[in-house]
Structures are given as structure tokens and as C-alpha cells.
Amino acid sequence: MRKIIIAASVLGTAAAGVFWYMKNRQRADQALNDVKDAARNAYHKMNHKAKKMSAKAQESLA
């Protein structure tokens, strides 16, 4: 009886650990995607500003 209770506790703990891991993995993946999106948006914005400034510099030299 005692061994059955210990085995059930270990199995339940393992199942809870797997569930917790899967739940947090999705949240971590979402956070990483948010960071990637923010970095991509910042890159595009800076690229746009750099092209705009380059065009203004070319106009002022011409």
C-alpha cells in the first residue's frame, strides 16, 4: 500500500511537471516572438529613417 502511494505521488508530480513545462514553454515562445517583432519593427523604422536622411543629404549636396 505504501509503495502504491509513493508511486502515485511520483507519477502525479511528473505529470504536473510536464503540464507546467508545456504551459510555460508556450508563454516563453510568445514572449520571444514579441521581442522578435519589436526588434524587426525597430530595424525597419531605423532603416526608413536612414534612407530618408540619406536622401535629404543627397538633396542638400546637389
- Residue of 36 and 26 predicted with greater confidence: 36
Q: What is the helix (H) or strand (E) element at residue 6, kind and residue range?
A: helix 2-61
pLDDT for the residue 45: 92
- Is the pTM above the cut of 0.75? no
pLDDT for the residue 2: 81
Instruction: Encode pLDDT of 28-54 as tens digits.
Output: 788 889 999 999 999 999 999 899 999
Sign, CA dihedral 52-58-61-62, equals negative
Reply yes or no on whether the pLDDT at 61 is more than 80: yes
